[in-house]
Amino acid sequence: MALEALNAVQGRIAEIQRFASPASQRSTGSTRFDAALSAAITAIDENPPPRPIDALPGENGRLAERDLALIGVDHHRLAPAAAEAFRRMRAAAATDGIEIGVTGGYRDYDGQVDLARRKGLYSNGGLAAKPGTSQHGWGLAVDVDVDHAGQAWLRANAARFGFFEDVPREPWHWEYLHGRS
């Protein structure tokens, strides 16, 4: 009897782990994840989070391209104040011999939905915010590509430029929070 109960518990644990893991969320036929993502989107649409102080007019992930500014790395854009602060921070890092690459800036709503499907929702152990809640959707977050020295430089200096490492498990994700220190 105890062995049967133990097997049942282990089977349930395995089922939960498969559902919660980003790899299972990416697999075809993952209707449970699609349903959870759809419910999260509906909940956000019905009760959107407050707009950050530095956010541009519009909706999260639906900003006009003309309202965003290039940050000086490829085609990446941020809100103008964040873009200017990032350019200054990147120049200061370069003066110290540090290169700050970028893998992402502003992300539109559809891009956030796609990311959530590919990488899983953060609340389920994945790496994506619920669509409509990401600071990327306001043009206030940048994903950097740095080595160990670059990460140390950012941790020591980014706050001077208004950038903070605010997302656990994502050392590449830096948010622009003007006026915070």
**Residue scoring higher pLDDT (38 or 47):** 38
Cα–Cα dist 153/151, whole Å: 5
pLDDT of residue 40: 60
Mean pLDDT of 99-127: 95
Name the band, by pLDDT with cuts 50, 70 and 90, for residue 160.
very high
**Which regions of the chain does DSSP assign to beta strands (E)?**
69-70, 77-78, 101-104, 141-145, 163-164, 173-176
* pLDDT averaged over every residue in the chain: 82
DSSP state letter for 169: T
pTM listed for this prediction: 0.70
**Residue scoring higher pLDDT (22 or 102):** 102
pLDDT tens, residue by residue, 76-96: 999 999 999 999 999 999 999
Percent of the chain with pLDDT over 90: 60
**Residue scoring higher pLDDT (54 or 174):** 174
pLDDT of residue 167: 87
Residue 67 pLDDT > 80, yes or no? yes
Domains, the chain, ranges and CATH?
2-176 (3.30.1380.10)
3-state SS, 60-86, equals CCCCCHHHCEECCCCCCEECHHHHHHH
CB 24 within 8 A of CB 15: no
Percent of the chain with pLDDT over 70: 67
CB 170 within 8 A of CB 127: yes
Residue 158 pLDDT > 70, yes or no? yes
Residue 16 pLDDT > 90, yes or no? no
Residue whose C-alpha is closest to residue 136's, from 114, 159, 118, 158: 114
